Amino acid sequence: MQPNPNQPHTLGPEYFAAVYEANADPWGFETSPYEREKYQTTLQALPKPHYANVLEIGCSLGVLTEQLATQCGHLLAVDVAEAALARARQRCAYLPQVELRQLRIPEEFPLQQQFDLILVSEVGYYWSPADLTRTFDLMLQALPSGGHLLLVHWTPPVHDYPLTGDAVHDFFLEQAHLDGPLHHLHRERHATYRLDLLERR
């Protein structure tokens, strides 16, 4: 897993604060047909109609959070950017099962809880290889047997991201070998993104 030589470090809160200051919806989460189709694909990939306790890492403006919440008993959605979370709080204010928190992963991973679904969508390539590995270890601790891990990421390289979406997914799939902690349930590759669903053994 080779990082981007021009940006080998995890992108921190200051990076995202600047991004959201420049544009309230920098990736078009609220308006993009690509995002709308990808959200639909993401939700359709979930093998269960309901999850008791869910962690969404990198919830941004809460567009997917709002849709995912209908399948959750409790949904903890976290992000490093307060500006994004403010929009997410407005969007999800009517959903009592949604808890929104500003957390920096992996440093502030919510280890006190177990999650039967962890969603990592469009966030893994912001981590350095070391932080991705640490996050993987923490997620394993938080996933009970039978818990699901859903990965969804843009695949073309981005010049200021430490990793590509393919590098993130390939790292996780390396852990899904015969005797590994994860079992690979489902994969999809679309024109500019991929989806992989794994299950804790």
Spans of the chain, pLDDT less than 50: none
**Residue 64 CA from chain centroid, whole number:** 11
The enclosing domain of 63 has a CATH number of 3.40.50.150
Q: In this structure, what token pair is assigned to residue 196? A: 């992989």
Strand order in the sheet with 148-154: 98-102, 72-79, 51-57, 117-121, 148-154, 193-200, 182-189
pLDDT of residue 71: 98
Domain for residue 2, yes or no?
Answer: no
What's the pTM value of the predicted model, to 2 decimals?
0.96
Domain for residue 8, yes or no?
Answer: no
Domain for residue 136, yes or no?
Answer: yes
pLDDT of residue 172: 95
Domain for residue 122, yes or no?
Answer: yes
CB atoms within 10 A of CB 180: 13
Domain for residue 126, yes or no?
Answer: yes
Number of domains in the chain: 1
pLDDT of residue 178: 64
Domain for residue 111, yes or no?
Answer: yes
Domain coverage including residue 148: 13-200
pLDDT of residue 146: 97
Sign of CA dihedral 97, 103, 106, 109: negative
Domain for residue 5, yes or no?
Answer: no
Domain for residue 183, yes or no?
Answer: yes
